[in-house]
Chains A and B, each alone.
Chain A
Amino acid sequence: EADIYQTPRYLVIGTGKKITLECSQTMGHDKMYWYQQDPGMELHLIHYSYGVNSTEKGDLSSESTVSRIRTEHFPLTLESARPSHTSQYLCASSDIGTRQYFGPGTRLTVT
């Protein structure tokens, strides 16, 4: 249904490693988002972008960073992973004022 992809789907990595979570969409949407969600808990917006070279921090403070060099690509980077970063990370995209389409998510475990 939705043309939005995330890789990897699952990642187990040791403390201190640098990781990049990939998100791509082929719908030409200007807006893209990253959410963090722990099991059974609510979604928290950590980053969003209105278009190329535009990035903003969301409502929940995060040690991650994002970039938007191309419309279709919105990667999230953690320079030094910690166990507190263990969570599910969901990417979404939308046109302005319309519904958001979500990717399948990346489940990250930092040991």
Chain B
Amino acid sequence: RKEVEQDPGPFNVPEGATVAFNCTYSNSASQSFFWYRQDCRKEPKLLMSVYSSGNEDGRFTAQLNRASQYISLLIRDSKLSDSATYLCVVNGVGGFKTIFGAGTRLFVKA
């Protein structure tokens, strides 16, 4: 079993749709969590950090459930420009080990 697992995708959605990505992690001692976005043939870039209380940035909402070891990303009112691969990232204790999920690809169509 992988330490960080994501929905395999791809997700194909129309513009304006709401889409949710899920991610689970195996190490209960993990301390910090992130969602990154990676465009085709580009480097990953931080989309948002994930906090226990949940956090929102415009159309994007991230949630963390430590009891279930589960992270989610919700995108509302999808735009064509949201098409990308979304990576779930988990940092271990003391930040000494960072694990990237395999990524979930999103295609938003007009």
Q: Which of A73-111 contact B (CB under 8 A)?
A: 88, 90, 94-100, 102-105, 107
Q: Which of B76-110 contact A (CB under 8 A)?
A: 87, 89, 91, 94-96, 98, 100-103
Chain B interface extent, by class: 20 to 34
Contact of B103 among A39, A42, A90 (CB under 8 A): A42
Q: Is the CB of A97 within 8 A of B94?
A: yes
Q: Is the CB of B43 within 8 A of A39?
A: no
Q: Is the CB of B43 within 8 A of A102?
A: yes
Q: Is the CB of B43 within 8 A of A103?
A: yes
Q: Is the CB of A98 within 8 A of B95?
A: yes
Q: Is the CB of B44 within 8 A of A99?
A: no
Closest chain A residue, CB of each to CB of B43? A102
Q: Is the CB of A43 within 8 A of B98?
A: no
Q: Is the CB of B43 within 8 A of A99?
A: no
Closest chain A residue, CB of each to CB of B31? A97
Question: Are A97 and B95 also in contact (CB < 8 A) when A102-B43, A102-B44, A104-B43 are?
Answer: yes
Number of interface residues of A (CB under 8 A): 21
Q: Is the CB of A102 within 8 A of B95?
A: no
Q: Is the CB of A90 within 8 A of B95?
A: no
Residues of A within 8 A of B94 (CB): 96-97
Q: Would you call B22 an interface residue if the criterion is a C-beta within 8 Å of the partner chain's C-beta atoms?
A: no
B residues adjacent to A (C-beta < 8 A): 31-32, 34, 41-46, 49, 87, 89, 91, 94-96, 98, 100-103
Across the A-B interface, give the 10 residue pairs with the lowest CB-CB distance, nearest first. Answer: A97-B95, A102-B43, A42-B102, A96-B95, A43-B100, A99-B46, A105-B43, A102-B44, A90-B43, A104-B43
A residues adjacent to B (C-beta < 8 A): 1, 33, 39, 42-43, 45, 50, 88, 90, 94-100, 102-105, 107
